[in-house]
Structure formats: C-alpha cells, structure tokens
Structure 1
Amino acid sequence: MRPLGEDDVAAGVLPRLEHVVSARPEHVAVDDGRTTLTFAELVARAAQVRVDLERHLGSATAATDTTTTRPPVAVLGAHDAASVVAIVATLSTGHPVVVLDDRTPVPWQRRLLARLGASAVVTDAARPGSLETATAIVGPDGVVATGTDEADPALLWRDPPPAEAPAVVAFTSGTTGASKPVVGSHRLLVRDAWNSAVASCCYDETDIVLHTLPLPFHAGLTTAVHTLLVGCGMRLFDVRSLGVATLPRAVADSGGTLLVTSPAILRGLAASDPDRDLLTSLSGLTVAGESVYGRDVEAARELVGSHCVVRNRYGASEVGLIAEHVVTDFPSGRLPVGRAVGWNRVDVVREDGRSADVDEKGTIVVTAPDVALGYLGRDDDPAFVDNRDGTRTFRTSDLGRRLRDGTIDLTGRSDHAVSVRGYLVDPGEVEAVALALPGVRECVVTGHESPSGTRLLAYVVGEAASDPAAVRARLREHLPGHMVPAEVVALSALPRTDRGKIDRRALPLPASGDRGHEPLTHWEQLVADAWTLVLDVVDLRPDDDFFALGGDSLAAEELMTRLRDDLGVPGEQASSSTIAQAPTLREFAAAVEPRHRGGGGRVPLHAAGTRPPLFVTAGAGGLGRTLGSLARRLGADQPVHALQSPSLEGRALPDVSITATARRHLAAAREVTTGPLFLAGHGFGGLVALEMARLAEEAGQTVPFVALLDTTPPSHVRPDSRPRWRRVKADLGLLQASLRDTTGGTEAWRWQLKADALAAAYVPAPRRGRTLVLTASDGPGAAGQEAWAQILTGATHRHVPGGPLTMLRPPNVDAVASHLRTAIDDALAAVDTHPTGGESRA
C-alpha cells in the first residue's frame, strides 16, 4: 500500500479509502470492544447503509460538481463501529455529514438540524433508545435505521464526490449568540490526515490508534477518518461509558501504539493510578482539545515511560491540525502549542495586520493549501481569504504570541469564546438560551480559567437569580453539559462602562466565603473536598448538583477513584451510577457513606506488606479512612492502620484524657503486632501518638519511630476560656453523641471541641528517640511548631506544602509520604525488627 500523499489529497476521501481497502481488505479497520470490522467488512456494511440512505433521500448518485449543494445528513450514535460505518456511508453519497451527540438534549439537536436544513438522521437500530431519540429530533419519516447487513462494496465507490465538495459540517463558536457551521471539503479531510500522520511523523499503517475523543467532537470525527485513510487499525474507546479506569486494559488488549486523547481524560487516567505494565505498548501520546499544563503531561510521562513521544496539538475546525509541540520538559504552567505542521504557515498579527514581535500578543492567522470552504450560510466571510498562490488564509479568534524559540503560545480568545473540556463554547450562545428563561432580564456568561480547566460563570439579573440551582437545572434541559455554567451569580445590575457597554472586567468572581447555607456534616465536607478537587468549585452547598457544576462522566470517574482511594468508599458504592441517581452533594454523600463503622477505633488501610505496620492516629474528630491517600503512597510493602476515636462512629464512652485515648489505641495496635511500634499522628493525633510511645516504652516495647503531622505543641494551644456551664453542656452533648449512631462522623465537631481542652491540659514527656516533625507551610501555627525542639531532642523538622488538612490531600500528600517513607527506612536500618521483638499479625 502506498503511503498517503499529495495525489490522494487531490482525489479526495473515497478514492483513497478504496485504495486502502483493496490493499488491506483483511486488516482490522475498527474495533470498539464489542464489534471488530476489517476494512472489507466496514465498506460492505457502509455500502448497505448508502443504499438505504439514498432510497430514503430519493437520490441515486453523488454530487458530480462543487456547485451542487446537498443538505447535510446527521449521524446519531455512540463512539462505536456502527457510527464509523454510518459516517463512511454518508461521505460516499455526497451529502455532508454532521455527527450528533446522543447525550445532548433533543431541543438542542433539533435546533442545529433546522439551521442546517437537514431532515435525515442515520442511527443504529441495535442501540437502545437511538431510534426514539432520532424520531424525537426529526420525526419518524426522517430516520434511517442501520444494522449489520452488507452490500456490494462497488456501490460505495460509485460516483465519488469531488475532492472540493462539502464533506463535513462542524459547529464552532460564533460571537452573535449562535454557533457557526463550518463546512469542510473532502480534500481538507485528506490533507488533515496527511498533516496528522505523515507530515508530523506521528503514525502510519503499522500503528494501532487508541481513539478516545468522542465522535461528535470535530477532532473525534476527523481522527476516525484519518485512521481509515492512513490504513492503520483503530480501537475506539468510549470513556464516557466505560470509565477511564478501564482504558489501560483496552490499550493492552489491543496492543495500541498511539493514544489520542484530551487533557481531561489524561488527568483522569493519572488519577486512577493505573497498572503501568498495561501501557507499555504505547509509543505515542497525542493530546488535543484544550489547554494542557506541564503537570498533566508530567504525570502522563510517568505512566507511559520516556520512550513514548508526547505531543500537544492545536487545531481548529476551519483548518484541522495547525501546529504541534513535542513535549520534552514540563513547565509549571500551560504548554505552548508548538510549530506549524506540514505546509501550514502560522503568524501572530497585530490589529493592523502586521506581524507581531516576539512575546507580543496578537491574533493567530493560518495560511495553508487547504482550509474549510467557509461557514454555511455566510458567504464571503472575512475570516477566509484566497491567495494568488492557491493557498487560503484563515484568521482565527485565538490570541497568542510567538516565543523566542519560535513556538506559539496561546493566550486566549478575541471573541470571548472559551474551550470547556475540549469543546469550543461561545458564551453568547449560552446567554441567548438563558435570556429566554422566565425571570432572567439580563445575562452575561464568561469563562474562568484555572489549572484544572475552564468553567463557565453566568451573571444573571432578574427574579430567577434568587434560585441559581433552578436556573442551572433549566439550562440543562436546553444545553449540552459542557455549556451549562458551573456557577450562577446573582447581580442587581450588570456593570457597565461610561459608554454603556458591559464591563466584563468588573464582573465579580463568585464569593468564596459563607453563602448562607446550612453547615455540612463532617462526612459531607470530606466528600465536598473531593468534589472541589475534581470540579474546581469552592464553597459547596448541600443542594449543589454535580452535573450543574460542570461535572461529566470523566469528572465522575475521577471522583469515584478519589473516593475509593482516599476515603475508602467500597467499589459498589463508588460508581458512576451513584452520582447519576444522587446528583446533589447531600444525596451523594449519603449514598457513598460507608455502611460499617470503624469498629474498635482501628481502620485497616493497607493490611498487606512485609514491613512492620505503621499506626497513624487521626486528628480530633478525624475519620481514619481519610488517611487512605497517605497510606496508598507509602508503598505496597508498608502495612498501614488508622486509629480513630472508638466513640466517633461507634457507641462507646468518650475518653477523658489523652492518656486514656492512647491506652485504647495501644490495645488496638497490639491486636496487630507485638513487635516494635512505628507510630504517627495527624494534628491532635500526634499528641496521642507521643503518649502511646511513652506508655509502650514503659511497658518494655520498642518504639523506633514517631511522626507528628502538623501537631501543635500543647504550650501553644489556647486554653478553654468558655464558662463552666458551657463546658459541661458540651461534655453532655459529646456523651450523648458517643452513645448514638454517628456513622460518617456526623457530629465530629464535638470531638474536635473536646480535643482542644484535652491538648491544653496535656504535658508531653521528653523524647530522645527518632521523631519526624512535619509542619504544613500554610498552617496558622507553623512558627509555633519550633517549640517541639525543646521536648523532642531527637527530632528532624521538615516543612511540607499545604495547610493542616490539605497537606494530606493530593498533590501535597506526596511530599508527606516521601518524608515519612524515608524516615521509616532510616529507623528500620537502625533497629532489629525480627521476631525476637515480637511478631506482626498484619
């Protein structure tokens, strides 16, 4: 088979595909995990779909010249082989194809097709609900149902559309409240395939491409077509249905060599802590769709190894792939998008059209042999200019700058459009839908950038603003999930300049303080912390909706991974179906709350391992399972058990002193081992760990090591200054809570309140043994922790990033685990931990 080249670009999609099929009929073209089709099988099925489609449309031949404009045909399906068959069939008819997302609300789909003048939808009859959805969009007379029947492939090659004919329609952002339909030609599809595979030396017919970008996403559609034109194998993987945690197994089973994905999927993959051995076949990793940060690719490089070439790509629906950056280092911020690919020429220009200087911000302009035909219904759009040498120039809405090394760095959008989870969103389009809602008088939507992605903020004026959750809920009925604002901010009036225009720079960010909602329980706050990490939304309320805040299936998968790993939520509870059935924070927290209490105060976090077990005492009112993130990072050979108050989740009298708590914990630890004790404590738990060490050593047991994780010295704890009657009342409340079901730490604040009084009354004994003192750099008492040096003469003091709580959460917990692991290694090297000192029953 000849490599993809300029002759193929000139001929168009169908002639090139015919050549590939004739050269590799039995080679696997597409595999979605359920259906595997060779190139011969693929085109035989596509031929039958073409027959059915032409019968429905009343057309027997494809367009024979570029002046004939045929209405687009929609493909409604999943990220699967059946959709690829339908796309190929539609391309062969000469009707441009537009791919619909079956997860998008029907009113939105109907609106798009009405604008295009499309009246036919091709869908897979075997997919549950697809026929009903397609019928709801265009009516029963507009649906073409496909199956597994085959026809003579020669029917597919009959009357191929000219290379210059329209092939695809992709909706991209506009500035007038309506997205713009971009029309790309058959020639552009082949040119883009050449740029993506050949000109960039990214892949060839020997590769197997793991394709995770949804087909309705324009880069998802083009990636699927590119692999067919190159002649390689394609493994479609639907992350939204299967979850990112199963992606590594798909890589291994398919022998995939190139993973094509988005930054959001990449972050989810890293968060799932996959088995690296399942990813060894990958030699390439391509990321596209939104801004990529150094930390994203650094985490990915650790998974795929240094032999895997990582590419950050930049493109537009109007051009296809524009530039790419081969990643060799990992800056702390956003990665550049690199240099132009193939025959593309990229320039950064000022408002007057002249090229900008190095590091000067301007508009990105692309000149290439093949650019989109234009926007449907918008002839002679000034964004496109034909040049005398046969090339075409497209003026993007992206802002950027040329760096000193010649690479391009994107800095924003000139038309206010933003990229949300890989989809280009025009805020004006969201505003248009919001303004149609009852009670909304004015609305402005903006994008707020953060290292974890872009989220939409809606500023609403009117009666409806009094219930932001209801506004988001109504928007979800009309908009795709990525277009629903993560936050609705109520304003009495929109800020305006002295000329009466909306002053976007004066729009306030959502308040991060108290928003007047009822307080969260301890367990709800822990779950809320996980939501914050995944969604980058702070100050959550009990009735906040995960999906209304911008969550999608990828974010849900990352959330479930965190709950399983960091909070010990069982796998059957931490599933995507749980968030679908209980989308609000309070409902979800209740659904994933562990059904069993921490019996006896000991919570095994990692019972296996060859090293002596480490016992970590949770902070005041802290749940032991919240230390799971730390335990997971200490190594598979390190057993870890958490210790918490037995009365926190179970029925037991509360302890009246630190010594009493230490005795209980010591008894729980001796159920696991009679050998040397390795102890640690977080916050108040550090005082308990010190007392455990004193009691154990008095009883003749060895304590080689103690770690204090941001534990305040008792001399710096404020004494309880409340009136005596308040202290008595608080003690009675704690007693009552200890004797009833408080699973999930629903009244943990009572234990925290008591702990301050116990700490202020505690006088720790001096310790000369090995002690590690870790201080949270952002903690309020960081300076006071130096007082430990007077008590712990054998202490090593280290600072770690984060605050008293966030130090134990990713990514700060990595530093804590590293210091702790090193200190334990040193202690093990200095002491005999063999059976003469007792045995471990971990």
Structure 2
Amino acid sequence: MTLATAVPAATDDSTQSPLLAQWRLIAARLPNQPALTSAGVGFTFAEADRLSDLAALDLVDALGDGDEPVGILSEHTAHALLAILTVLKSGRTHVFLDPHVPVERLGYYTRASGLKVCLVSTNQAEIGADIATSLPFDEIVARAVASTLSETDLADAVEERLAAGRDRQGSDGVSIVFTSGSSGLPKGVLQTEDTLRQQVGYHRQLVGVGPGDRALLTFPLGFVAGVATFLAPLLNGTGMWCFDAREEGIPALRAYLEDKRLTAYYSTPYLAKSLAESLPDGEKLEHLRFILTGGEAITAAGVAALRRVLPESAFYVNGAGSSETGGMIVAWTLPGDAPAPTGVIPAGRAAPNAEVLIVGDDGVELPQGEVGEIVFVSRGLSGGYWRDDERNAELFSVTDDGRRRYRSGDLGRLDDDGNLVMAGRADSAVKVRGYLVEPSEIEAALTGLDEIRDAVVIAQKSDEKPTRLLAYIVPTAGLRAPSTPAVRRALRQTLPEYMVPAEIVQLTALPRTERGKVDRQNLPPVPERVVSDDVLDQHEYVMAQIWCRVLEIPGLDADDDFMALGGDSLSAEELLAAVEDDLGVTLESSDILRFPTLAEFTKRVSNHASALPSDPDVVPLNTGTGGRPLFCIAGAGALALTYLPLARQFPERDVYAFQAHAMERRGLPDRTVTAHAERVIRTMRTVQPHGPYVVVGHSFGGFVALEVAHILRAGGEEVELVAILDTFARDEPGATPSTPSATVESAARPSSGLRGIAAAALDKQVRRILPYGLPEVDQVSRHVRAHLAGVVTHEGQRQFDAIADRSVLALRKHVIQPYDGPVLYVLAKTNDRGLSGWQDILTGDLRVEATETDHTSLLRDPEVQTLASILRKHLEPVGVA
C-alpha cells in the first residue's frame, strides 16, 4: 500500500463562485453555528455576517475614494478574522500586520504595499499610530453591535454601497502577504479571488472539511497559510477557533484543543510536533479527525510523533506551497491505519487543476527521479509580486491553455509514486565533493536519532575552499545530550561519508521566525576550521590518527583543540585509553585540559614528561580571570571534566572542579562525606582564603557541597550560595537514588525460638561490619568492589563504578544537618521526586529552578547554557576574590 493517497478530481463547481457569495450562502445555511471564536469572544455565522456588513459600511465611509490596500494590525483573535471579512466586503485588499513582527519591518510592509489606513486593535494602538492612519477596529465593532439598523435597511445599504466587494473578479486582490525574506528583503505577493477559491475547493476535497468540523487556526494571519487556512475551512461551513501558541504556550494549546473538542488542527510541523511531545505516554488527541501541517518540511520523526498521539481513525496531511503558489498546492496524506514512514517525507502530489513539473537548466522537463527546478502550473496561483513587473516577467508566465506557470527556484524530484520530494533552493544547491546533496536527507537522519529533537543542515560555501555542511541540532529533552563524535558515528551508519556534516553545533532551540520557520539567517556562525595534515610532523600525524578515530572527523590541524572539536568526558577517556593502548603512555584527563591542542598534546606524550605538579583530584577549568571562583563538585563516579561545558559559560570567573579521590590514581577514597568536603576546602582556601564562597554540586556532589558550606560557616566564613544540581534527598537510611548504585539490605527478619535468638546474634555481628545487612547475591561483587575501591584499580567504566559505589557507602553513614543559608536547587525534568526530603533540611533562602533537561544533560551542551543563565541570575555580580 502506498502511503500517499490520490486527491479526487474536482466535482463541486462552488469554487467558481465569488468568495463573498460562498460566505453568504454558508451564513444563511448555518446562522446559529459558531463561526469565529477566540478567548473571551465568539460570533456565530449570522453575527459575523451582520457585524462585518456594518463594519464594512463604516470602513467605506472612512476610506473614501481610492483603491489602496488596508492594513489590519491585530492580535490573533476572532476580531482579527472579523476584520478580514470586513475588508473583503469593502472591496479593498488587506495587508495583515502581525504584532510579533518587529516594528521596523511592519513599517517596510506599509511602505511596500502602499497602504495608508490601518484597522488597529486597542492593544496595538500605539504601534498603529506610528505606521499609518489608524482606525480603532474594536470601536467599529462596538458600533456595529449597538446598531439598531433593520435587516431590510442593512440589506439595501449593502446592495448599494458594498458593490465593490460583491463584484470582485477572479484576478482581483484579496490580500497581500509578504515572503519571509530569507533571500533579501521580503516581497509582497498578491493573493487573488481565484487563488483562494482554489484553496476552498482543495481543502474540501483533501480533508473533507465541512460543517461537522471545529478547526483550530494557529498559522499567523500575515502568512499565506494563515489566510488560506482561515477562509478555506470557513467557506466550507467549519467554525474557526483562534489560538496563538506564541503567546500562550504548548500546555495551554493542549488544554484548549481538549476543552473546545476541536476536530481539525492546522499549524507548522514544529508546533504540531511540540504539541505531540507534550502529551504523556499513551495519551491521544481523541477528538481530532486530522492534522494538517505546512510552512516547512517535516521529518519522519515528526510524523511518528504525530502518529502516536492521533486516534487510529485520524489521518495526517503534509501540505506544501508558498506565497507565490497561493498556499497549499501539493499534499501528502498518511491514513490513520498506515505505519509511520522513515526517511525524507515527500511534499506530495499536486492539487486538482494543478501540475508539478521538474525541469533542467534548459527548461526541458526531466525524467521521473531526476533532480531539477520545480515548476508549478495552475489557474489558482497567486497574482504575482506586488508592483514588481520585472520579477513577475522573470518567474511567472501563461501557458497556451490560459493557466499560470511559476518557476519556484526550488529543487526537487518526483518519486516512484509521483510525489514531489523537495531538495532545497536552486540558487543554493549543495554540491559536496562532486555529489549533489539534499540537506533534508541529512536532517531526516539526524532527527531519526532518539537523542535529537530538531535539526537543520546548511552549506558553508567559499570560492577558494571546498563546501562544508554545517548541522545545528537540538537534543531531545529528557535524554542525555549526544556528543558530537557519537552523532557522527550514528550518521555514518546510514549516510555516505560526504553527507556527514563537517561541523555539528548543539543548541537549546533553533531560531525561528514569527511564522515558525527555521530562521537560517540567525543561526550562530561556525568558525571555519583549517585542516592541514601535510604540515604535521611525524609525531603529530600519528596522534592525529588517534584523535580522528575518537572524534569521528576526517582531518586535523596542529592547533585544533580536542574539546572544541566536540570532545567530552567520555571521548576524553576513550582518547586516554587509545593513547595507552597504541603508544604505551598513561595520562590523566586533566592532561587534555593542560595540553588541549594536537601539537601540545603530542609533545606531552612524545616527551614522556611527568605530570605537572598538581592535585590529581582538582582540575582548574578557568584560571587567571581575577573573578571570584566557582567551586564545582562532581557527582559520584564522575570526572571533574564534566564541569568543563559549564566553565566555558563563565569566562569572567575562575572555575575549579573536584572529583573523588582515587578516581584516576591508586589511593584510599574518602570514607565519609565530611572527609570529602574537608579535602575540597583545603584547595578552596588555597585559591580563595576567605569568603564569600560559591559552591556547586551535582548529584552526589550536592551533598558534599552542602557539607562544605556547613564547615565554612562554622569557621566564620561567608557562603554566598550553594547550588545543588538535581540531588535527590534521602528519605531514609540507604535510600540514595542520586547515586548510580547501592547495595540492598536483605537479611531476613529473625524467627522466634532458639534459632531466632541465634540468627539475631549472628545478624548483630554482621551489622557491625555491614550496617545495612548482607547485600543481595547479584550485588556481592559490587559491594566488595566498593570496599576495595582505590586500593584495587579497574579498567575504564568499572573504576568509575567502584568509586561511585564507595561514595554510596560514605553517604549512608552521613547525617545531613539542616542548612539555613542561601541555596539554589536546580531540578531536572526527569526528577519526579522534586524537593521531597529537602524541606526539613534547606530551611533558609531556598530558590528552586526547573529545567527541561535530564539529570546528566544538565551539564552538557547545549542544555548547560540554560543552567549557566540560571546560575547567573542568582549570583552576585562578579568581583575579584
């Protein structure tokens, strides 16, 4: 079965009727049905018809002669929809001005369209006064509501004075929408009667929208999809509910859908996927009959997320189009009983009365499967660029049978099922090493990884240097953020080498325009890295092979920095293990920080030099800044290097990180939390003799940080802040979920009689050695390993686990004293215990901050940016220690 369903041929001639004729017919048939609704306001079809008639009469009086477009500056509300109907009835073309757009750009829209008068909502009066002559629309509506004009007199007035709207021809304008301006200044595009008539019919045939539906409109009304997905369902008898997720947020959107029992959902893929991901596992949007997304491409992961929250009877539609095509012109449908697809999601098949052609550079149509420029042919295309005859002549033409033809400038191909598959812009085609690359394929591979929620891939071009692919990714909330080498390894499982991005940048969110599209112009720049293996000496060349293997990159320069290339604590340990295996040299993780570049690290290994004098348990991450230090304590079994991403966020402060004793060298671990804290304090006082101190602790490190603060304050020192990062408090002895593992008490309750007395005596002797009883059989080896940690060393992760288990033993004996000083508690999204157990301990100035990440990713890029901003908010301005 093919996942793409064919669109039935047009059978309803009503799409040839004028828009206002269709509106009046629907209003007469469904007078008491809800038509336009938003928070706190709603109009039935009859109310909307009468009020827009009265408002249009008011508007015509105010406008006088002329045919200039009319602006509408309003929030995303039912009043905004009523304003569009009002301007439509007045016979003028409207330009919707979205308050989320910067004022400077709104001014540009005003000048470019030539509008002189703007209908303005009360809340936008100040902005409206700056850009055009303002008419307060709320007052116009209030006058219409209060009007006592009879229906007969109103009908006569409409017949006489609103003829321009009633007599609008197919090529006459309805609205001017502005392109996103991704390639220069935004361009105004005229949407005509014919354009929107086609959308009305297409929606009815594609999704069967009609009087039985209740539709949610989230598309901004300044966007062609906003105009089309307002008028198309409405003129098919569907009531429209407005909701602005940019203002209200995803949880409120979910509640609104359920509360209003909406059946038809229209939005961008990004918003729809965010909505789906906000639902608890197993919960579905039971009332929805379909979801239709448009505005940008959707990935297979996005479709799968939507499929999981839709009832089996519901279907999904991926619509595609542009301002120039007049809205949706191709669509791909996934039936409710079909499995979620993989790979690149096609844009779909052409609408009825439309045709998609793929042409080469010479304009000749290409065979199916070949990539070329996409050309659309239809009577329902837009009216072209507003007041730009030269550009219209370049991109628009008329076919022999009278249809309009538009060269899109986009690349694409037709797959075996006849679906259009987009391949990026023709003027920015990506060729890497002679291969034509479709960034959407790479984006699909990236978002196909569970750890990646969102991704965009762009090309960095240069006349002198080869084209590089740059990927920007957003990790999935609740999962550990993937390291750059791990992402590259995963991509190589499904993509050829030339499609693996040269640079992978992790962000907390992709920048987006007010329309929800990825704002490629505001992606952070990636500095170009120069690769010059030919200038490496023989030692550096050998070391470069190891680095490339660990980091999953093709080449290196002598000045490349290991951590800057995406290295993290895990890949650092992999590097050290590889150096020991390949070259027989044993180093510590701190050496990577002291000798961060390939040249420096190679020299360190080649000279077999001894480590610089230092404390092996303390890693200076930032030094020499003169700013008051941050003292950071790692979790159980974690390296001090885990704080490196956080240190990078505080270039104005010295940052010192502490790890457990004997992590990387043989030694006796601290037997108590207090001993651990005292060891930390000895170094702290060397660096900063007196307070105020800032102490940060993650997981088990939170207990140590709190004990450090207790000891410092008992000695008369000031502690500015203790930051506890997602540390679970103990509810009872032995319950330490914040640490990786714990032995479990399993000694049986003694029975009565002599056997019971003997068992009790034995149990008493055992508890002198093992205070929490005998470990379960499958935990015996870990229990023994914990007691021997530091004395007996292990390879790799087993060593870290041993130290972690030793920390558990120390924590079990620790008595946590109440603390009345300032504490910042940072809560990860995956922490379902919250402040449980802490209320009686943290009795002072307690500040709680919640994040949208998991326990581990809290300290990893890019989520660490959020953590850093939280810390800054609660820290005093930086000063010299």
TM-score by length of 2: 0.53
Aligned: 1:75 with 2:72: yes
Contact 1:124 1:147 in 2 (8 A): no
Matched residue, 1:579: none
Matched residue, 1:670: 732
User: What amino acid does structure 1 have at the position aligned with 2:704?
Assistant: S
Aligned: 1:101 with 2:98: yes
Matched residue, 1:132: 126
What is the correspondence of 1:492-507 to structure 2 with a 5 Å cutoff?
none
Matched residue, 2:383: 373
Shift of 1:9: 2.8
Shift of 1:386: 1.1
Contact 2:295 2:517 in 1 (8 A): no
Distance verdict in 2 for CA 1:136–1:542, change over 3 Å: farther
Distance 1:169 1:316 in 2: 13
Instruction: Give me the CA root mean square deviation.
Output: 5.2
Find the partner of 1:412 among 420, 424, 448.
424
Find the partner of 1:326 among 333, 336, 340.
333
Aligned residue for 2:198, secondary structure, equals helix
Q: Which moved more, 1:326-335 or 1:482-491?
A: 482-491
User: What amino acid does structure 2 have at the position aligned with 1:138?
Assistant: A
Matched residue, 1:547: none
Find the partner of 2:705 among 627, 648, 659.
648
Q: Gapped runs of 5+ residues in structure 2?
A: 1-8, 430-438, 444-455, 459-467, 476-511, 530-559, 567-595, 598-620, 636-644, 652-672, 675-694, 713-726, 748-765, 801-817, 827-852, 864-881
What is the correspondence of 1:417-456 to structure 2 with a 5 Å cutoff?
450=472
Aligned: 1:398 with 2:410: yes
Shift of 1:118: 0.7
What is the correspondence of 1:465-476 to structure 2 with a 5 Å cutoff?
none
1:480-521 deviations in Å (ceiling 9; x for gaps): 9958613256899xxxxxxxxxxxxxxxx9976699998997
Distance 1:378 1:139 in 2: 25
Contact 1:13 1:187 in 2 (8 A): no
1:749-793 deviations in Å (ceiling 9; x for gaps): xxxxxxxxxxxxxxxxxxxxxxxxxxxxxxxxxxxxxxxxxxxxx
Q: Which moved more, 1:39-48 or 1:133-142?
A: 133-142
Contact 1:8 1:16 in 2 (8 A): yes
Matched residue, 2:399: 387
Matched residue, 2:371: 361
Matched residue, 1:66: none
Distance 1:85 1:355 in 2: 44
Aligned residue for 1:279, secondary structure, equals coil
Aligned: 1:230 with 2:242: no
Shift of 1:288: 1.0
Shift of 1:670: 3.2
Matched residue, 1:531: none
Matched residue, 2:177: 170
1:237-274 deviations in Å (ceiling 9; x for gaps): 11111111122221122121111111221232133235
Aligned residue for 1:230, secondary structure, equals coil
Q: Which moved more, 1:18-27 or 1:317-326?
A: 317-326
Matched residue, 1:585: none
Shift of 1:95: 1.3
Alignment size in residue pairs: 545
Shift of 1:350: 1.2
Matched residue, 1:111: 108
Contact 1:182 1:318 in 2 (8 A): yes
Find the partner of 1:90 among 87, 90, 95.
87
Find the partner of 2:523 among 465, 469, 486.
486
Distance verdict in 2 for CA 1:307–1:381, change over 3 Å: same
Aligned residue for 1:715, secondary structure, equals coil
Aligned residue for 2:143, secondary structure, equals coil
Shift of 1:99: 0.8
Shift of 1:292: 0.5
Distance 2:521 2:107 in 1: 18
Shift of 1:190: 1.4
Distance 2:170 2:183 in 1: 32
Distance 2:133 2:403 in 1: 42
Shift of 1:124: 2.0
What is the correspondence of 1:684-695 to structure 2 with a 5 Å cutoff?
685-686=739-740, 689-690=742-743
What is the correspondence of 1:726-765 to structure 2 with a 5 Å cutoff?
743-744=823-824
1:9-57 deviations in Å (ceiling 9; x for gaps): 3332111101111111111102113111101111222123212321221
Distance 1:715 1:109 in 2: 65
Shift of 1:143: 8.5
User: What amino acid does structure 1 have at the position aligned with 2:94?
Assistant: V
What is the correspondence of 1:146-225 to structure 2 with a 5 Å cutoff?
146-150=140-144, 154=155, 155=157, 158-159=162-163, 160=166, 161-172=168-179, 177-195=184-202, 197-225=203-231
Contact 1:345 1:366 in 2 (8 A): yes
Matched residue, 2:60: 54
1:698-752 deviations in Å (ceiling 9; x for gaps): 64477588799xx9995126999xxxxxxxxxxxxxxxxx999684489xxxxxx
Matched residue, 1:43: 49
Contact 1:56 1:144 in 2 (8 A): no
Percent identity, aligned pairs only, is 23
User: What amino acid does structure 2 have at the position aligned with 1:305?
Assistant: P
Shift of 1:185: 0.9
Aligned residue for 2:110, secondary structure, equals helix
Shift of 1:310: 1.0
Distance verdict in 2 for CA 1:714–1:179, change over 3 Å: same
Distance 1:28 1:447 in 2: 50
Distance verdict in 2 for CA 1:228–1:739, change over 3 Å: closer
Distance verdict in 2 for CA 1:291–1:693, change over 3 Å: farther
Distance 2:696 2:646 in 1: 21
1:671-692 deviations in Å (ceiling 9; x for gaps): 6xxxxx89867xxx33x62498
What is the correspondence of 1:729-808 to structure 2 with a 5 Å cutoff?
743-744=823-824, 805=856
User: What amino acid does structure 1 have at the position aligned with 2:127?
Assistant: T
Aligned residue for 1:364, secondary structure, equals strand
Distance 1:809 1:523 in 2: 15
Contact 1:647 1:739 in 2 (8 A): no
Contact 2:214 2:240 in 1 (8 A): yes
Distance verdict in 2 for CA 1:699–1:46, change over 3 Å: same
Distance 1:211 1:414 in 2: 32
Contact 2:215 2:262 in 1 (8 A): yes
Q: Which moved more, 1:221-230 or 1:275-284?
A: 275-284
Shift of 1:96: 1.0
User: What amino acid does structure 2 have at the position aligned with 1:299?
Assistant: A
Q: Gapped runs of 5+ residues in structure 1?
A: 60-68, 428-445, 454-474, 493-508, 527-537, 545-599, 602-619, 625-642, 655-664, 672-676, 721-737, 747-801, 813-842
1:602-659 deviations in Å (ceiling 9; x for gaps): xxxxxxxxxxxxxxxxxx98645xxxxxxxxxxxxxxxxxx664233464569xxxxx
What is the correspondence of 1:576-655 to structure 2 with a 5 Å cutoff?
623-624=698-699, 645-649=702-706, 651-652=709-710
Contact 2:118 2:134 in 1 (8 A): no
Aligned residue for 1:92, secondary structure, equals helix
Aligned residue for 1:689, secondary structure, equals coil
Contact 1:207 1:232 in 2 (8 A): yes
TM-score by length of 1: 0.55
1:349-404 deviations in Å (ceiling 9; x for gaps): 11112222333211111111221121111224231121222222111122111112
Shift of 1:85: 0.5
Shift of 1:113: 0.9
Aligned: 1:11 with 2:17: yes
Distance verdict in 2 for CA 1:744–1:807, change over 3 Å: closer
Find the partner of 2:350 among 324, 327, 340.
340
Distance 1:699 1:525 in 2: 26
Distance verdict in 2 for CA 1:452–1:666, change over 3 Å: closer
Aligned: 1:716 with 2:782: no
Distance 2:227 2:513 in 1: 25
Contact 1:210 1:236 in 2 (8 A): yes
1:198-238 deviations in Å (ceiling 9; x for gaps): 22134222111122212222201221111221111111111
Aligned residue for 1:374, secondary structure, equals coil
